[in-house]
């Protein structure tokens, strides 16, 4: 692979010649030492350089790779985990990966297959003797040397997620550690408690792939492959008969039922070198040890909870009311969250009605044309700074930052229509919140930096009313503006008030005790749901205009996060040991109080609550940048987007399609039944050479108004025609 413009010329004194490949953690280069020795240099991505936990994991990778250097692994030559961009150099192994070999030439013949299995088993035996668990053995991590040799034809590479048995480095929350469909079931169901048995399971899967050109749990996407691994039986295809007992034992669901790597090696050594003379009279059968494999227990990344912080922490934003129809996802942080009902939500209706006032050409405003606007600071202060928070709306795109209190971008051209300046007063702990738009009124942080609220006419920019700060969160639900009257603190007791959006008239005020940071959810026909767990208990239904309690049901225990409420049903995520990742949901009927549980084949990061549409729940797995679809009624997964696709925003649902923003600032339309791509817009920004920080996933889903899409991403905001 040719070098790119921003690739380094040298790393640690090694001259870079070309790219070998790239992955989630970094880039691997072919390089030369001063003496001309060829090495493979792995350089971690810039986005991880300042991550203390990642540096700890990279040190662990270096230590693990050095610990197991031997005949069947690539030895470590040099490394620097403290460099600005940490790196590690290993001996360069000329050859191709097992996946490349099978793709080019098809399944291996018996002699090559037997040799592959024997050498992989011996490599795993040495790795496990060094008290290391690889955890990501797959065809692309198995190198086949050109011409083989007396010292073996196989090398096991990439110890990026391996773990030493005596390591205390914690696993990053939400990371799916491995590569479906070659992972063991416990890597999905109990990712923090895996031992050497996972490598034996992967070895069995790799042998099936080498013999048949497919994994034993093949599926059209990684999510279904994971489901098959946990719940299904392996597809062994035309696996040679002598291997069937051994591979079946390796693929046992329970770790204790699998043989050890030493037992696998012994069984493979007993197999005939040539099958042409006929099948052996007695096939060797592996009798796995019944002693449970010593599990290298891996701690979760603890998110220390208290009574008011039991919810995910990464991006505590309440966007679902700020944007037309909000979205859903699973990951580690309660962020933007949207519920789209079977009937269009009132906010969507109001957007479309407002758009029709000036409609021209099928829903686009008069004079509309595609536009994009970078959010960079300039001298006159009319643009936002990087990191601005923007909310698209039919009346415009409304942005705020620490420099500018509120700016309206014209929805037709993207030009700055009006701006409300922010006070230059220095305030400790001041933070920006996304503008909230409701029926032609936009709500934002007060311009005096007091952390109060100001309401402006979305068309003219006229200030309508204000509340002095400091105040907590605010959002529009069921036709009222709900305001947390206290700043977020450690107290369980909180005061909330509801205001008429356009006049600012206070409608009611309540003091309540709740373990939820955001206890209110939109209900049907002018009602609200209040999560009162931690106080009076249960989920209460309120009249949004009067605050009067209309009913209440007993809720599940306080250890669950109420992720979303849709169509009279509550969806709770169950955190794994307060880690911020979830492997199951509890679903509750808010009329009868009945509950049931739905399981996922792996633990996911609810970066925002799920988007529910009919009987389907769409989940944005922030940690893996994938979108998952789950049939709630039948309790089964439907599809997931490929992790190679890299979904970069929460999803939105309009007119029978799902929309998501991609890293290159294009917008993708997906069939919600199958996850298949329907259409994709052209990118609005040139993202070549952009860092991860500039292209970070967005909490704002695309907005569709008529036939025009509005998107928000790291590089800026943009408007394009819907091509679906």
DSSP 515-531: S-SS-EEE-SSSEEEEE
- For residue 67, tell me if it sits in a domain: no
449-454 long-range Cβ contacts below 8 angstroms, 24+ apart: 449/422, 449/423, 449/425, 451/427, 451/487, 453/483, 454/405, 454/406, 454/420
Domain that holds residue 620: 346-721
Provide mean pLDDT across the span 276-292: 40
- pLDDT higher than 50, residue 467: yes
The pLDDT value recorded for residue 356 is: 39
Residue showing tokens 């936009």: 442
- Identify whether 328 is part of a domain: no
Is the model more confident about 493 or about 4?
A: 493
* Count of structural domains, the chain: 3
Residue 208 — φ and ψ, nearest 5°? Answer: -60, -45
With a pLDDT cut of 90, the percent of the chain lying above it is 33
For residue 399, tell me if it sits in a domain.
Answer: yes
pLDDT score for 670: 93
Are residues 219 and 117 part of one domain?
yes
Are 404 and 493 within one domain? yes
Q: Are residues 246 and 365 in the same domain?
A: no
Which pLDDT belongs to residue 362?
36
In a domain, 339, yes or no: no
Q: Are residues 535 and 555 in the same domain?
A: yes
Q: Which phi and psi (to 5°) does residue 188 adopt?
A: -95, -45
CA atoms within 13 A on the CB side of 603: 27
Q: Answer yes or no: do 160 and 280 share one domain.
A: yes
| 426 and 367 within one domain | yes
Residues 51 and 110 placed together within one structural domain of the fold = no
Q: Where does a domain end: 271, 297, 323?
A: 297
Range scoring the smallest mean pLDDT among 164-173, 564-573, 581-590: 164-173
Residue 123 shares a structural domain with residue 12: no
**pLDDT tens digits, residue range 436-448?**
999 899 999 888 8
Is 60 a residue whose pLDDT tops 80? no
Query: Are both 51 and 119 inside the same structural domain?
Result: no
- Tens of pLDDT, residue by residue over 138-194, are 998 898 886 654 445 788 887 644 443 333 333 343 344 456 778 898 887 776 667
**217 and 141 in a common domain:** yes
Q: Tell me the pLDDT of the chain averaged across its residues.
A: 76
Q: Is 80 exceeded by the pLDDT of residue 104?
A: yes
Contact 43, 8 (CB under 8 A): yes
Answer yes or no: do 13 and 150 share one domain: no
CA dihedral 322, 327, 332, 333 (to 10 degrees): 10
Cα 652 to Cα 487, 637, 711, distances in angstroms:
30, 19, 11
Residue 395 DSSP label:
T
Q: Is residue 216 predicted with pLDDT exceeding 90?
A: yes
356 lies in the same domain as 458: yes
């Amino acid at each position: 692979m040719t070098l790119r413009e921003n690739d380094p010329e040298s790393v640690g004194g090694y001259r870079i010649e070309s790219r070998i490949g790239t992955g989630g953690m970094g880039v691997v280069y072919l390089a030369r030492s001063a003496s001309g020795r060829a090495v493979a240099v792995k350089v971690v991505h810039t986005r991880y350089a300042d991550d203390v936990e990642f540096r700890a994991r990279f040190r662990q990778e270096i230590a693990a790779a050095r610990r197991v250097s031997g005949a069947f692994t690539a030895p470590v030559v040099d490394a620097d985990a403290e460099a600005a961009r940490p790196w590690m150099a290993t001996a360069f192994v000329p050859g191709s990966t097992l996946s490349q070999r099978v793709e080019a030439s098809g399944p291996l013949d018996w002699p090559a297959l037997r040799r592959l299995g024997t050498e992989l088993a011996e490599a795993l035996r040495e790795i496990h003797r060094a008290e290391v668990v690889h955890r990501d053995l797959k065809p692309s991590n198995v190198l086949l040397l050109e011409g083989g040799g007396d010292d073996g034809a196989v090398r096991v590479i990439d110890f990026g997620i391996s773990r030493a048995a005596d390591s205390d480095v914690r696993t990053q929350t939400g990371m799916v550690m491995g590569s479906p469909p070659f992972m063991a079931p416990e890597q999905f169901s109990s990712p923090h408690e895996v031992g050497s048995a996972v490598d034996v399971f992967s070895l069995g899967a790799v042998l099936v792939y080498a013999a048949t050109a497919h994994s034993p749990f093949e599926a059209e996407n990684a999510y279904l492959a994971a489901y098959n691994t946990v719940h299904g039986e392996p597809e062994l295809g035309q696996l040679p008969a002598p291997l069937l007992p051994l591979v079946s034992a390796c693929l046992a669901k329970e770790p204790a039922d699998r043989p050890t790597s030493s037992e696998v090696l012994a069984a493979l050594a007993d197999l005939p070198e040539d099958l042409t003379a006929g099948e052996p009279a007695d096939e060797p059968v592996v009798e796995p040890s019944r002693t449970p494999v010593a599990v290298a227990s891996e701690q979760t990344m603890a998110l220390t909870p208290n009574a008011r912080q039991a919810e995910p922490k990464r991006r505590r934003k309440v966007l679902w009311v700020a944007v037309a129809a909000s979205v859903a996802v699973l990951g580690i942080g309660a962020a933007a969250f949207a519920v789209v009902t079977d009937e269009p939500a009132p906010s969507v209706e109001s957007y479309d009605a407002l758009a029709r006032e000036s409609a021209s050409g099928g829903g686009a405003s008069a004079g509309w044309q595609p536009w994009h606007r970078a959010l960079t600071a300039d001298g006159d202060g009319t643009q936002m700074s990087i990191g601005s928070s923007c909310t698209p709306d039919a009346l415009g795109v409304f942005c705020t930052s620490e420099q500018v209190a509120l700016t309206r971008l014209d929805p037709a051209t993207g030009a700055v229509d009006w701006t409300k300046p922010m006070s230059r007063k220095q305030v400790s702990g001041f933070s920006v919140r996304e503008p909230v738009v409701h029926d032609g009124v936009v709500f934002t942080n007060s311009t005096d930096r007091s952390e109060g609220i100001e309401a402006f006419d979305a068309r003219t920019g006229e200030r309508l009313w204000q509340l002095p700060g400091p105040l907590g969160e605010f959002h529009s639900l069921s036709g009222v503006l709900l305001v947390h009257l206290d700043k977020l603190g450690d107290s369980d007791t909180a005061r909330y008030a509801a205001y008429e959006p356009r006049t600012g008239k206070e409608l009611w005020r309540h003091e309540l005790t709740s373990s939820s940071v955001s206890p209110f959810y939109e209900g049907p026909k002018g009602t609200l749901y209040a999560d009162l767990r931690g106080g009076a208990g249960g989920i209460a239904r309120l009249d949004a205009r009067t605050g009067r309690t209309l009913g209440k049901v007993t809720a599940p225990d306080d250890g669950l996060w109420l992720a979303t409420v849709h169509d009279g049903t509550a969806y709770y995520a169950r955190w794994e040991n307060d880690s911020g990742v979830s492997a199951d949901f509890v679903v509750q009927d808010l009329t009868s109080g009945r509950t049931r549980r739905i399981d996922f084949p792996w633990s996911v990061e609810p970066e925002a609550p799920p988007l529910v549409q009919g009987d389907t729940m769409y989940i944005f797995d922030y940690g893996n940048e994938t979108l998952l679809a789950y049939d709630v009624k039948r309790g089964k997964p439907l599809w997931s987007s490929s992790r190679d696709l890299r979904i970069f925003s929460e999803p939105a649902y309009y007119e029978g399609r799902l929309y998501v923003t991609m890293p290159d600032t294009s917008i993708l339309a997906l069939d919600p039944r199958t996850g298949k791509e329907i259409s994709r817009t052209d990118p609005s920004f040139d993202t070549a050479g952009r860092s991860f920080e500039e292209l970070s996933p967005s909490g704002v889903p695309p907005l569709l108004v008529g036939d025009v899409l509005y998107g928000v991403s790291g590089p800026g905001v943009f408007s394009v025609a819907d091509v679906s």
